[in-house]
Structure 1
Amino acid sequence: MSSMSSTADTLDSTAAGPTPPAPAYDVATIMGALYGDGILGHKGAFPREWVQRMGEDIEALFQDALKRPGGAVGRGPKRYYVEIHPEHLRGFVDLVTHPWVVAVCEAVLGPDYKIVEIGFDVPGPGAQDQPWHRDFPAPEETTVGRRLNSLAFNVTAVDTTEDMGPFEVAPGTQWDGSEHLEHEMFPPKSFYPRYQERAQRKMPQMGDISARSALTIHRGTANHSQKARPVLVLGVDAPDARNAERHDLQFSRAYYDALPETLKPHLACRVVDELEPIVQGHTIEGLMMGEA
């Protein structure tokens, strides 16, 4: 009897085999959040000192963009968007190689994901409520195929407070149809009660990162404070998405050559001898609520 028990124990142990290592970030959690609510956060991804440097770079780039025609695109009164050259942001490589960012991209977009955009939003004092919107028309891969093929990552440069015009999102609305949306992005006001009923107001602090589907209906709210709320934006596509056409990711040859070799296949970019001014190709018509 004891011999049979010993054999059974041995067989069970052999059948089980070695225990696989646990992934650093759970794929099911990532997929569940982005296919469910459409947004996922990771708190404390970076130290505050790193974020302070990012904020310094954003401020310098913002002041430069304001001096150039077309350098900053208005997204409504006192609200701007600026697309930038990655090498002008000291923490670019840290961000795009962060294990959580990589894990989210691979889980949702697959191993051949492409980084297509980096820039920042600046809702200044006096910025108003934006209309509820998605950032671009939903592709057929999402409306018919029920698959997300792009993501937007956000990193706040400041500790968000209630009076600074926090970001609001209506969870689950990345799957809403586009047939009643103006420009396939802007719902009629008759839809607003549904979004307001679902709305979640996000209050990220310095060091936090979020990932979201830019198709999830969202808006920036009114900034009643005396402080701007700059937010870094990183856009990433699956291989079949076409958002790169709206952007112009550029690297100087010397900077590109020094990048990690593992990163280069994930960049949908031009490598140039001299960086050229970025002509913003992604305007969001309904957000042009008067002069910025």
Structure 2
Amino acid sequence: MTATNDTKPAPSMSMSADAPATTTDTGAPINATPYADPQYDVPSIMAALYGDGILGLKGAFPREWVAKLDEELAVLYRAALARPGGAVGRGTNRHYVEIHPEDISGFLDLVTHPWVRTVCECVLGPNYKVVEIGFDVPNPGAKDQPWHRDFRAGEETLVDRRLNSLAFNLTAVDTEEDMGPFEIAPGTQWDDPSEYDHGMFPPQSLYPRYQARAQRKYPKMGDISVRSALTIHRGTANVSQKPRPVLVLGVDAPGAGHDAWHDLQLTRGYYDRLPQEVRDHLICRVVDELEPIMQGHTIEGLMMGDA
């Protein structure tokens, strides 16, 4: 029996997310955006995501917290690889695995982090919805991906110039140069996709544009970033002997519709223990027993080969 809840630059990051808040003479922070945490600067957040398309916060979580996450992801990865359809290919020696929130111990810490909530509310509005949690693993031998978007841009972006979804990334390891760091071309979330294959893959004639703008990211354990998945990006070749797992949290503005590609499930007991302020931001199925996820967000152009 199921029920549905569907109410509607730091060195390793794009830019700093911790601009000081303005204060009164008594030292109390002045915040004209009631749902934003006053320790974070709303104009800086908006400028980064509407400008470069990516923003980072260093040291958001303790390294011990991330080390536990790394252990949990390793167990989940082995289980996914052993299950038909459990891991989706993202190119040579790369996989994406969608998981259940209660599969990891830190889900509540993640979605209630004041920076995560502030970014979501500022960019997507106070009724934002968490629609996805999973992880990417570029393994040793992973090759350069082709430049791409994670999905097609809609009219709200192409015409209205509005972002209606965000992807948060949290590395489970310290990223080193040989581990295939994430590479992004800032500002390209607004690029015209009329020549893109499937609306997601730019032609190679545009590669010089992205290579000229490219920034590689080297986050450490505890750092978190957020980006528009429409900003042109790719994973680079992992020539090390170490995997580079990265947790992914997908968040939509109301009506964005990306929940159709995912299957966020929570057991009744877990769901009931969550604070109401968290439940209000979930599009999920509440189930008696967790079911294997049939992953719907495949990216065919990544499964068919590398750059």
Counterparts of 1:35-74 in structure 2 under 5 Å?
Answer: 35-74=50-89
The aligned residue for residue 106 of structure 2 is 91
Determine the C-alpha separation between the residues in 2 that align with 1:239 and 1:82: 24
- 1:177 deviation in Å? 1.2
Does residue 203 (structure 1) correspond to residue 218 (structure 2)? The answer is yes
Does residue 121 (structure 1) correspond to residue 130 (structure 2)? The answer is no
- Which letter does structure 2 place at the counterpart of 1:95? L
- 1:193 deviation in Å? 0.2
Counterparts of 1:1-292 in structure 2 under 5 Å?
Answer: 21-22=30-31, 23-290=38-305
TM-score by length of 1: 0.92
- Which letter does structure 1 place at the counterpart of 2:184? V
- 1:201 deviation in Å? 0.4
Q: Could you tell me which runs of 5 or more consecutive residues in structure 1 were left unpaired when the two chains were aligned.
A: 1-15
- 1:290 deviation in Å? 5.0
Secondary structure, counterpart of 2:277 in structure 1:
coil
CA distances 1:230-284 after superposition (whole Å, capped 9, x unpaired): 0000000000201101100000000000011111010010100111110000100
Aligned residues with identical type, % of pairs? 72
CA distances 1:159-196 after superposition (whole Å, capped 9, x unpaired): 00000000000000000111100010000001000000
Would you tell me which structure has more helix in proportion to its own residues? 1
Q: Could you tell me which runs of 5 or more consecutive residues in structure 2 were left unpaired when the two chains were aligned.
A: 1-23, 32-37
Secondary structure, counterpart of 1:262 in structure 2:
helix
Determine the C-alpha separation between the residues in 2 that align with 1:133 and 1:17: 49
Secondary structure, counterpart of 2:280 in structure 1:
helix
- Which letter does structure 2 place at the counterpart of 1:21? I
- Which letter does structure 2 place at the counterpart of 1:142? T
Determine the C-alpha separation between the residues in 2 that align with 1:150 and 1:171: 17
Moved more, 16-25 or 256-265: 16-25
- 1:212 deviation in Å? 0.2
- 1:289 deviation in Å? 3.2
CA distances 1:110-148 after superposition (whole Å, capped 9, x unpaired): 000000000000000000000000000001100000000
Q: What do you get for the CA RMSD once the two structures are aligned? A: 1.5
